[in-house]
A and B are shown apart, each in its own frame.
Chain A
Amino acid sequence: MGTLEMKSITKRFDRVLALNGVNLTAADGKILAVVGENGAGKSTLMKILSGVYPHGEYEGEIFYKGEACRFRDIKDSEKRGIVIIHQELALIPYLSISENIFLGNEQAKNGVINWHLTYQKTAELLEKVGLKENPHTLVENIGVGKQQLVEIAKALSKRVEVLVLDEPTAALNDIESENLLTLLLELKKEGITSILISHKLNEVLKISDQITILRDGKTVESFPNENVDENRIIRGMVGRDILDRFPARDVEQGEVMFEVKDWTVYHPEIADKKVIDNINFHVKKGEVVGIAGLMGAGRTELAMSLFGGAYGSKITGTIIKDGKTLMLKSISQAIENGIAYLTEDRKQYGLLLDETICRNISLANLKSLNTGLAVDEFKEKRVAEDYRGKVDIRSRDVQQHVKNLSGGNQQKVVLSKWLFADPETLILDEPTRGVDVGAKYEIYLIINELAKQGKCVIVISSELPEVIGLSDRIYVMNEGKMVGELSKEEATQEAIMECIMNH
Chain B
Amino acid sequence: MSIIRNNIRQFGMIIALVAVAILFQILTNGIFFRPANIANLITQNGYILILAIGMMLVIITGRIDLSVGSLLAFASALSGVLIINMGWPLWVAIPAVLAMGGLSGAWNGYWIAYKNIPFFVVTLAGMLVFRGLTMLTLEDGTLTPFPDLFHTMSAGFIPNILGNTGPGSYNITAILICLAVSLILIYMEFRNRKVSIEYGAEILPMPFLIAKLVLLVGAINLFGYWFAAARGMPNILLLLAALIVIYSFITNKTVMGRHIYATGGNPKAAELSGIKVKRVVFWVYVNMGVLAALAGMVFAARLNAATPRAEAGFELQAIAAAFIGGASPMGGIGKITGAIIGAMLMGVLNNGLGHLGIGADIQLAVTGLVLLIAVTFDVYTKTKVSKTEKT
Which residues on A are within 8 Å of B, measured CB to CB? Answer: 307-308, 310, 330-332, 334-336, 341, 343, 348-355, 359, 362-364, 366-367, 370, 373-375, 377-378, 381-382, 394-397, 399-401, 403-405, 417
How long is the Cα–Cα vector from A367 to B386 in the complex, in angstroms?
Answer: 30
| Contact bitstring B267-287, A, C-beta under 8 A = 1, else 0 | 011111111100000000000
B60 → chain A closest CB, angstroms? 11
B23 → chain A closest CB, angstroms? 33
Tell me which residues from 242 to 284 in chain B have a Cβ below 8 Å from any Cβ of chain A.
Answer: 249, 253-255, 257-259, 261-262, 265-266, 268-276
Q: Is the CB of B389 within 8 A of A352?
A: no
Q: A378-B195, A404-B391 are in contact. List 18 more A-B contacts (CB 8 A).
A: A332-B276, A336-B274, A341-B272, A348-B266, A351-B266, A354-B328, A354-B332, A354-B333, A355-B262, A366-B255, A373-B253, A374-B254, A375-B255, A375-B258, A377-B253, A378-B201, A394-B391, A417-B273
How long is the Cα–Cα vector from A378 to B195 in the complex, in angstroms?
Answer: 9
Q: Is the CB of B254 within 8 A of A349?
A: no
Return 14 A-B CB contacts under 8 Å, by A number. A332-B276, A335-B273, A336-B274, A349-B268, A349-B272, A351-B269, A354-B328, A363-B275, A366-B255, A374-B249, A381-B199, A382-B199, A396-B391, A401-B386
Task: Say yes or no: is B2 at the interface (Cβ < 8 Å to chain A).
Answer: yes
How long is the Cα–Cα vector from A366 to B390 in the complex, in angstroms?
Answer: 27
Nearest to A364 among chain B residues (CB) is B273
Nearest to A369 among chain B residues (CB) is B255
**Given known A366-B255, A404-B391, contact A335–B269 (CB-CB < 8 A):** no
* Residues of chain A within 8 A of B258, CB atoms compared: 359, 362-363, 366, 375
* Residues of chain A within 8 A of B328, CB atoms compared: 354
How long is the Cα–Cα vector from A11 to B332 in the complex, in angstroms?
Answer: 36
**Given known A352-B262, A378-B199, contact A367–B255 (CB-CB < 8 A):** yes
* Residues of chain B within 8 A of A363, CB atoms compared: 258, 262, 269-270, 273, 275
Task: Say yes or no: is B29 at the interface (Cβ < 8 Å to chain A).
Answer: no
Query: Dominant SS at the B interface?
Result: helix
Tell me which residues from 185 to 206 in chain B have a Cβ below 8 Å from any Cβ of chain A.
Answer: 195-196, 199, 201-202
Task: Say yes or no: is B165 at the interface (Cβ < 8 Å to chain A).
Answer: no
Q: Is the CB of A350 within 8 A of B201?
A: no
Tell me how many residue pairs across A and B have CB atoms closer than 8 Å.
102
Nearest to A332 among chain B residues (CB) is B274
Closest 10 CB pairs of A and B: A374-B253, A332-B274, A378-B199, A352-B265, A364-B273, A335-B274, A363-B273, A366-B255, A349-B268, A404-B389
B28 → chain A closest CB, angstroms? 40
Nearest to A345 among chain B residues (CB) is B268
How long is the Cα–Cα vector from A341 to B268 in the complex, in angstroms?
Answer: 13
Q: Is the CB of A400 within 8 A of B273?
A: no
* Residues of chain A within 8 A of B249, CB atoms compared: 373-374
Task: Say yes or no: is B7 at the interface (Cβ < 8 Å to chain A).
Answer: no
A308 → chain B closest CB, angstroms? 8
How long is the Cα–Cα vector from A363 to B267 in the complex, in angstroms?
Answer: 12
Q: Is the CB of A364 within 8 A of B274?
A: yes
Q: Is the CB of B389 within 8 A of A401?
A: yes
* Residues of chain A within 8 A of B196, CB atoms compared: 378
Q: Is the CB of A348 within 8 A of B268?
A: yes
* Residues of chain B within 8 A of A404, CB atoms compared: 386, 389-391
Q: Is the CB of B386 within 8 A of A375?
A: no
Q: Size class of B's contact patch?
A: 20 to 34
Chain B CB count within 10 A is highest, among A353, A363, A364, for: A363
A313 → chain B closest CB, angstroms? 15
* Residues of chain A within 8 A of B389, CB atoms compared: 396, 400-401, 404
Q: Is the CB of A375 within 8 A of B254?
A: yes
Nearest to B254 among chain A residues (CB) is A374
* Residues of chain A within 8 A of B255, CB atoms compared: 366-367, 370, 375
* Residues of chain B within 8 A of A335, CB atoms compared: 273-274
B367 → chain A closest CB, angstroms? 27
A60 → chain B closest CB, angstroms? 30
A158 → chain B closest CB, angstroms? 37
* Residues of chain B within 8 A of A334, CB atoms compared: 274
Q: Is the CB of A352 within 8 A of B269?
A: yes
Nearest to A417 among chain B residues (CB) is B273
CB-contact partner of A373 in B254, B266, B275, B332, under 8 A: B254
How long is the Cα–Cα vector from A367 to B273 in the complex, in angstroms?
Answer: 12
A32 → chain B closest CB, angstroms? 39
Q: Is the CB of A355 within 8 A of B265?
A: yes
A13 → chain B closest CB, angstroms? 16
B127 → chain A closest CB, angstroms? 28
How long is the Cα–Cα vector from A336 to B276 in the complex, in angstroms?
Answer: 14
* Residues of chain A within 8 A of B266, CB atoms compared: 348-349, 351-353
* Residues of chain A within 8 A of B270, CB atoms compared: 352, 363
B92 → chain A closest CB, angstroms? 30
* Residues of chain A within 8 A of B391, CB atoms compared: 394-396, 400, 404-405
How long is the Cα–Cα vector from A49 to B332 in the complex, in angstroms?
Answer: 40
How long is the Cα–Cα vector from A202 to B269 in the complex, in angstroms?
Answer: 39
* Residues of chain B within 8 A of A330, CB atoms compared: 274, 276
* Residues of chain A within 8 A of B261, CB atoms compared: 352, 355, 359
* Residues of chain B within 8 A of A364, CB atoms compared: 273-274
How long is the Cα–Cα vector from A348 to B333 in the complex, in angstroms?
Answer: 17
CB-contact partner of B271 in A310, A373, A397, A399, under 8 A: A310
How long is the Cα–Cα vector from A403 to B261 in the complex, in angstroms?
Answer: 16
Tell me which residues from 374 to 391 in chain B have a Cβ below 8 Å from any Cβ of chain A.
Answer: 386, 389-391
How long is the Cα–Cα vector from A335 to B273 in the complex, in angstroms?
Answer: 8
CB-contact partner of A354 in B259, B265, B390, under 8 A: B265
Nearest to B390 among chain A residues (CB) is A404
* Residues of chain B within 8 A of A397, CB atoms compared: 2
A433 → chain B closest CB, angstroms? 16
| Contact bitstring B2-14, A, C-beta under 8 A = 1, else 0 | 1000100000000
A411 → chain B closest CB, angstroms? 13
Nearest to A359 among chain B residues (CB) is B258
Q: Is the CB of A352 within 8 A of B332?
A: yes
* Residues of chain B within 8 A of A381, CB atoms compared: 199, 201
